C-alpha cells in the first residue's frame, strides 16, 4: 500500500513509459482524425472564443449566443471569478506565470494530474457505451501547450494505483488543432472535467477520491461551473446529487459511460476549464496547499449543510448512541451480538449499520450526525465519520496486520476532523488467522514482512482473509473509554 500524501508538485511531463503505453491510443486517434495530432501547428489555431480572459485583454467582451440562461454580464462575471480563482488560488509560482503566458498550465504530483485553462475549450463526448473511450478536450482559445504536444492523462486522483487507473478512461488535451469540431452546445460557465470511474462506488473512495477533491477544485466558485464526467455512473450522480448541486450549476454532463446510454455524441463548448481534480491526501484538505485556505473542517461544514445535517456538536445524552458498522464478508465481528450486549450494559443505545442501511446515504448521514460514537472494524464504512458532529468519537477496531492502514486512512483523518479517536488493537488470538496458521508463521508473528511484499500479497491475507472475535473483557474497557469521552447531561 502506498501512502496517499501528494509529493512535491512538478511540471507535467509524460514519462517515457507512459508514452510507450499510450502509443496504441495515439495510433487509434491518428487513424480516426488524420495526422494532425502529432504535429499541432500553432499558426493554424482558430480564433479565441472566450468572452473574457484575465491573461491579456482584461475586460473585452464578445457577443455570445442568445440561448444562454445567464445574461452576458452574469456569464462574464462567472468567468472572471473562475479565472481569478485559477490565478490566485489554484496556480502557484511557475504555474501562475505559465497560466498568464500560455493560457494553460498543467501540474502533476504523485496522485493527480490537473490542467487549468482560462480560455475556451471544446469537449467531444462519446456516444458509445464502451469502456475506456478516449474523450478529447480541444483548446480553442489560443492556449500554448508546453512543447506543443498534446497531453493525455486519466482525470481521477489516484494515478499511483494501477487498479483505479484501469477503471478510468484517458482524456486527451488537444492543442492547436487546425479544425476542431464545431459546437453543438455552448455553455456560459467554465467546465470542471473529471472521471467517476476509478473506485467510485466504495464509500471511502467516493469521499476521498471524488467528493473532497471536487470540493477542493470547485468549492470557491459558488456553483458557477458545470461538471463534466467521463466514465459516468448515473447512480453515483444520483447518490450524491444534493452535494453535487451545491458545487455546480445544473446536472453533470456525461462525456462517456460504460454504464449508461449518454445520448448521441455532442461537442460541448465552454469559456474555460479545469481538467482533473486537486487532491490533498487521505480524507484531507491541506490549508497550505493550493487552493489555499481550505481545511477539512470547511469541507465538513459544506457537506453537513448540503445534507441539512443539523448537529454542530455532539449531543449530551443520558443514553448516547453508538452506531456499529456491521461488516459481513471480511473483517466481520463474529461475536457481534455479545459486543452489542456489552455496549448496552455500559449505557449505549446501539444502532446496527448493515451495508444496505448505509447505501441510503442521506438517512444514514442523519443517524451518524446524531450519534456519539461511530464504531467498526477498519474499512470503508468508517468514512461515515465525515457526518459525525464535532467532538464525537470514532472507535476503530484494528485487525491483525492493518495497523498502518488503520492509522493513515482513518486514525489521522479523524483527528484532523476534530473528532475524538479511540483504537482497539486486537491481539493475534482475536483474529481467525490465528486458527489457520501456526503461531510462529510470519503472517502472525511478523505482519510487516508480509506487508512489505506489496498490497497484492497482504490484501488477500489481512484485508480479505480474516474475521474477528473480540475479547470482551478487553473491549469493554475501550467502549467504556469512548463512553466517558462523551459529554454527560449536567
Ligand atoms: C501541505 O501543503 C504544503 C504546501 O504544499 C506542504 O509543504 C505540506 O507538506 C503539506 N502538508 C501535508 C501534511 O501534506
Ligand atoms: C505482487 O506485485 C509485485 C510487483 O508489484 C510482483 O513482483 C509480485 O510477483 C506480485 N506477487 C504476487 C503474488 O502476485
Ligand atoms: C481477554 O483479555 C483479558 C485482559 O487482558 C485477559 O486476561 C484474558 O486472558 C483474555 N481472554 C482471552 C480468552 O484471551
Question: What confidence tens digit (pLDDT) does each residue in 250-303 have?
Answer: 899 999 988 888 888 899 999 999 999 999 999 999 999 999 899 999 999 999
What integer best gives the mean pLDDT of the chain? 86
pLDDT band at 73 (very low <50, low <70, confident <90, very high): low
CA 475 to chain centre: 34
Alpha-carbon distances of 296 from 57, 181, 302, 359, rounded to whole Å? 37, 41, 10, 23
**CA 168, CA 20: separation in Å to the nearest integer?**
18
What is the predicted pLDDT for the residue at 55?
Answer: 29
What is the predicted pLDDT for the residue at 44?
Answer: 30
Residue 5 predicted with pLDDT over 60: no
What is the predicted pLDDT for the residue at 41?
Answer: 28
Question: Is the CB of residue 471 below 6 angstroms from any atom belonging to ligand 3?
Answer: yes
What is the predicted pLDDT for the residue at 488?
Answer: 87
The answer to which of 4-13, 244-253, 399-408, 437-446 has the lowest mean pLDDT is 4-13
Residue 19 predicted with pLDDT over 80: no
Q: CB atoms < 10 A from the CB of 279, how many?
A: 27
Instruction: For residue 474, report the distance from its CA to the centre of ligand 3, in Å.
Output: 7
Q: Which atom of ligand 2 is nearest to the CA of 453?
A: 1
What is the predicted pLDDT for the residue at 129?
Answer: 59
Q: Which residues line ligand 2 (CB under 6 A)?
A: 454, 456-457
224 close to 82: Cβ distance less than 8 angstroms: yes
Tell me the per-residue pLDDT of 329-354, one tens digit each, with 9 for 90 and over: 999 999 999 999 999 999 999 999 99
Query: Mutate which of 286, 290, 294, 295 to test ligand 1's pocket (most atoms within 8 Å of Cβ)?
Result: 286
Q: Which atom of ligand 3 is nearest to the CA of 427?
A: 14
What is the predicted pLDDT for the residue at 72?
Answer: 57
Contacts of 346 (CB under 8 A, 6+ apart): 476, 479, 480, 483
Span 18-47, average pLDDT: 36
Question: Is the CB of residue 427 below 6 angstroms from any atom belonging to ligand 3?
Answer: no
pLDDT band at 15 (very low <50, low <70, confident <90, very high): very low
Question: Is the CB of residue 286 below 6 angstroms from any atom belonging to ligand 1?
Answer: yes
Q: CB atoms < 10 A from the CB of 408, how many?
A: 17
113-117 vs 253-254, strand pairing mode: unpaired
Residue 448 predicted with pLDDT over 60: yes
Instruction: For residue 137, report the distance from its CA to the centre of ligand 3, in Å.
Output: 61
Span 141-168, average pLDDT: 93
Q: Which atom of ligand 3 is nearest to the CA of 472?
A: 1
Domain coordinates of the chain in residue numbers?
Answer: 72-305, 312-485
Tell me the per-residue pLDDT of 367-418, one tens digit each, with 9 for 90 and over: 999 999 999 999 999 999 999 999 999 999 999 999 999 999 999 999 999 9
In 196-257, the DSSP E strands lie at 226-230, 253-254
Query: Mutate which of 288, 291, 408 to test ligand 1's pocket (most atoms within 8 Å of Cβ)?
Result: 288
pLDDT band at 52 (very low <50, low <70, confident <90, very high): very low
Instruction: For residue 11, report the distance from its CA to the centre of ligand 1, in Å.
Output: 17
Residue 49 predicted with pLDDT over 80: no
What is the predicted pLDDT for the residue at 131?
Answer: 59
Instruction: For residue 290, report the distance from its CA to the centre of ligand 1, in Å.
Output: 9
**CA 185, CA 189: separation in Å to the nearest integer?**
12
Tell me the per-residue pLDDT of 221-231, one tens digit each, with 9 for 90 and over: 989 999 999 99
334 close to 434: Cβ distance less than 8 angstroms: no
Residue 57 predicted with pLDDT over 90: no
Instruction: For residue 328, report the distance from its CA to the centre of ligand 2, in Å.
Output: 28
344 close to 350: Cβ distance less than 8 angstroms: yes
In 3D space, the residue among 472, 489, 211 whose CA is nearest the CA of residue 344 turns out to be: 472
CATH class assigned to 312-485 = alpha beta
**Rg over CA atoms, the chain:** 25
pLDDT band at 4 (very low <50, low <70, confident <90, very high): very low
CA angle (144 as vertex; 253, 21 as ends), nearest 5 = 70
Backbone angles phi, psi at 442, to 5 degrees: -55, -30
- DSSP states of 47-62: PP--S--SSSSTT---
The answer to which of 32-46, 91-105, 345-359 has the lowest mean pLDDT is 32-46
Backbone angles phi, psi at 191, to 5 degrees: -110, 145
What is the predicted pLDDT for the residue at 133?
Answer: 76
Backbone angles phi, psi at 18, to 5 degrees: -65, -40
Amino acid at each position: 500500500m502506498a501512502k496517499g500524501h501528494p509529493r512535491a508538485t512538478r511540471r507535467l511531463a509524460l514519462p517515457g513509459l507512459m508514452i510507450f503505453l499510450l502509443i496504441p491510443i495515439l495510433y487509434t486517434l491518428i487513424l480516426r482524425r488524420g495526422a494532425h495530432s502529432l504535429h499541432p501547428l500553432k499558426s493554424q489555431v482558430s480564433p479565441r472564443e472566450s468572452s473574457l480572459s484575465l491573461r491579456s485583454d482584461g475586460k473585452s467582451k464578445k457577443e455570445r449566443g442568445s440561448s444562454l440562461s445567464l445574461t452576458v454580464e452574469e456569464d462574464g462575471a462567472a468567468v472572471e471569478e473562475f479565472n481569478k480563482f485559477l490565478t490566485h488560488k489554484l496556480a502557484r509560482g511557475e504555474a501562475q506565470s505559465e497560466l498568464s503566458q500560455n493560457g494553460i498550465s498543467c501540474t502533476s504530483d504523485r496522485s493527480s494530474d490537473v490542467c487549468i485553462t482560462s480560455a475556451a475549450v471544446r469537449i467531444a463526448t462519446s456516444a458509445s457505451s464502451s469502456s475506456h473511450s478516449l474523450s478529447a478536450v480541444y483548446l480553442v482559445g489560443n492556449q500554448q501547450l508546453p512543447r506543443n504536444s498534446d497531453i493525455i492523462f486519466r482525470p481521477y486522483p489516484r494515478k499511483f494505483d494501477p487498479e483505479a487507473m484501469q477503471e478510468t478512461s484517458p482524456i486527451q488535451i488537444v492543442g492547436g488543432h487546425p479544425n476542431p469540431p464545431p459546437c453543438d452546445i455552448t455553455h456560459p460557465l467554465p467546465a470542471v472535467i473529471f472521471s467517476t470511474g476509478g473506485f467510485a462506488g466504495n464509500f471511502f473512495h467516493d469521499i476521498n477520491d471524488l467528493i473532497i477533491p471536487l470540493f477542493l477544485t470547485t468549492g470557491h466558485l459558488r456553483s458557477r461551473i458545470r461538471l463534466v464526467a467521463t466514465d459516468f455512473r448515473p447512480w453515483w450522480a444520483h447518490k450524491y446529487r444534493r452535494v453535487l448541486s451545491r458545487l455546480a450549476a445544473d446536472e453533470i454532463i456525461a462525456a462517456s459511460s460504460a454504464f449508461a446510454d449518454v445520448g448521441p455524441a455532442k461537442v460541448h463548448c465552454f469559456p474555460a476549464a479545469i481538467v482533473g481534480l486537486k487532491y490533498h491526501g487521505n480524507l484531507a484538505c491541506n490549508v497550505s496547499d493550493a487552493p489555499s485556505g481550505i481545511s477539512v473542517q470547511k469541507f465538513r461544514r459544506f457537506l453537513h449543510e448540503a445534507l441539512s445535517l443539523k448537529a454542530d456538536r455532539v449531543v449530551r445524552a443520558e443514553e448516547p448512541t453508538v452506531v456499529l458498522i456491521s461488516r459481513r464478508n471480511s473483517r466481520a465481528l463474529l461475536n457481534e451480538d455479545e459486543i452489542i450486549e456489552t455496549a448496552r450494559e455500559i449505557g449505549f443505545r446501539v444502532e446496527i449499520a448493515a451495508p444496505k442501511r448505509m447505501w441510503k446515504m442521506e438517512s444514514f448521514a442523519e443517524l451518524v450526525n446524531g450519534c456519539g460514537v461511530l464504531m467498526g472494524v477498519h474499512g470503508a464504512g468508517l468514512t461515515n465519520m465525515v457526518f459525525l458532529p464535532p467532538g464525537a468519537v470514532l472507535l476503530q477496531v484494528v485487525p491483525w496486520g492493518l495497523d498502518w492502514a488503520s492509522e493513515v486512512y482513518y486514525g489521522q483523518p479523524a483527528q484532523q476532523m476534530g473528532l475524538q479517536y479511540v483504537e482497539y488493537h486486537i491481539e493475534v488470538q482475536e483474529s481467525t488467522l490465528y486458527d489457520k496458521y501456526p503461531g510462529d508463521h510470519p503472517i502472525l508473528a511478523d505482519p510487516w514482512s508480509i506487508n512489505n511484499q506489496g498490497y497484492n500479497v497482504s490484501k488477500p491475507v489481512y484485508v480479505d482473509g480474516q474475521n474477528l472475535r473480540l475479547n470482551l473483557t478487553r473491549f469493554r474497557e475501550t467502549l467504556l473509554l469512548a463512553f466517558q469521552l462523551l459529554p454527560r447531561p449536567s
